[in-house]
Amino acid sequence: MAKNDLMSGSLWDQYSNKVTTLMNAPTNQGEITQEECDTVGHKLIVADFGAESCGDAVRLYWEVDPQNDTIVNSKFKSFGCGTAIASSDMMAELCIGKTVQEAVKITNIDVEMALRDDPETPAVPPQKMHCSVMAYDVIKKAAGLYLGVDEGSFETEIIVCECARVSLGTLKEVIRLNDLTTIEQITDYTKAGGFCKSCIKPGGHEAREYYLVDILNGVRHEMELEKLHNAADAGITGDFETMTMVQKIKAIDAVIDESIRQFLIMDGGNVEIIDVKDSPEYIDIYIRYLGACNGCASSSTGTLYAIESTLKEKLSNKIRVLPI
């Protein structure tokens, strides 16, 4: 099949050479018969899966040695586009030689990575990533049939972006830890929403239970409520510069606990507030570094700047932080 028979050159160039080769000459296409399996005492598994969003469907054949649960042969039939054929072929190839328990760990990311010509260049355009997701789903179906369990039991987390295999828990954690505010930032950090884009918001090619826009808004709302609660617990009820000394120290500690201390502890260090002194021009905060932070070169440069800039942003521009 010539490139011009399918699409314009610019789009065709987004497919790897492996994909275009397997589109035309798949190596594992075909079927495995019951008779073939019976002659060697193996078990035949036939699993079907169809993607309602695009109409593609795949049938997966496994010849499994019941003595050790090893997939000794794997073939497929695919009813769909060339990308579905290439993805299904690679999926079948990756199954051969693995146990059923190992095969179920193969993800759509593994399939797509195996189709790349080089590790850094995607094998297919973003809108075609769902074809490798279909390959992942039919593996779960086959494994469920062989092991006699529901295929859903293999999914231990709620997956929001199936293309990049990003879970709900991971998304919430990344938004919190990195203080993310946009969908673009989420995609940069996790790859979620970078392929077929159905998980970004309603209206994509496939309906989802969770969308990135709702997750981001929900986590940001939770973070704002936590800030309000932390401020109330610290006695922050008005302008920082007019607070009593005790209120100021509580407010400073609250900001450090919320935005700074966790990162210092991760590196084996910490910080404590020694004193706060007011003057007409500055509010000087004297700190002492603890643990690994004590004597660290960054304690007087990058770390100090981060602490001071955070306190200025959240409390007062008059703040100076002075290590002792």
pLDDT tens-digit series, residues 53-65: 567 789 999 999 9
Which of the four CATH numbers 3.90.1010.10, 1.10.287.1260, 1.20.58.1610, 3.90.1150.10 does domain 3-154 have? 3.90.1010.10
Largest CA distance in the chain: 93
Single-letter residue type at 155: E
For residue 4, pLDDT over 60 is answered with no
Q: How much is the pLDDT for 149?
A: 92
Active-site entry in 37, 54, 95, 161: 54
In the chain, the percentage of residues whose pLDDT exceeds 90 is 47
pTM, rounded to two decimals: 0.56
Half-sphere exposure in the Cβ direction for 8 (13 Å, CA): 2
pLDDT band at 102 (very low <50, low <70, confident <90, very high): very high
Q: How much is the pLDDT for 314?
A: 87
For residue 7, pLDDT over 50 is answered with no
- Judged on CB neighbours under 10 Å (0-12, 13-18, 19+), 184 is exposed
Bridge-partner residues for 273, per DSSP?
Answer: 287
Classified by CATH at the fold level, domain 239-323 comes out as GMP Synthetase; Chain A, domain 3 (3.30.300)
Q: How much is the pLDDT for 44?
A: 98
Q: How much is the pLDDT for 151?
A: 80
CA proximity to 219, closest of 180, 192, 250, 271: 180
Count of CB atoms situated within 10 Å of the CB of 1: 10
For residue 3, pLDDT over 50 is answered with no
- Judged on CB neighbours under 10 Å (0-12, 13-18, 19+), 112 is buried
Q: How much is the pLDDT for 217?
A: 94
123-137, 212-226, 243-257: which has the minimum mean pLDDT? 123-137
- CA triple 316-318-320, angle to 5 deg: 105
- Give dist(CA 120, CA 115) in Å, integer: 12
Please confirm, yes or no, whether 95 is among the known catalytic residues.
Answer: no
Q: How much is the pLDDT for 233?
A: 60
pLDDT band at 96 (very low <50, low <70, confident <90, very high): very high
Please confirm, yes or no, whether 131 is among the known catalytic residues.
Answer: yes
Active-site entry in 37, 81, 95, 131: 131
pLDDT band at 223 (very low <50, low <70, confident <90, very high): confident
For residue 94, pLDDT over 90 is answered with yes
Q: How much is the pLDDT for 6?
A: 44
- Give dist(CA 258, CA 274) in Å, integer: 19
Q: How much is the pLDDT for 52?
A: 57
Q: What is the pLDDT of residues 104-120, one digit of tens each?
A: 998 888 898 999 999 88
Mean pLDDT of 196-206: 87
Q: How many helices (H) and strands (E) does the chain have?
A: 13, 8
Half-sphere exposure in the Cβ direction for 47 (13 Å, CA): 26
Mean pLDDT of 93-102: 97
Whether the CB-CB separation of 159 and 166 falls below 8 Å is answered with: yes
Q: Are strands 70-79 and 57-65 parallel, antiparallel or unpaired?
A: antiparallel
Mean pLDDT of 20-46: 96
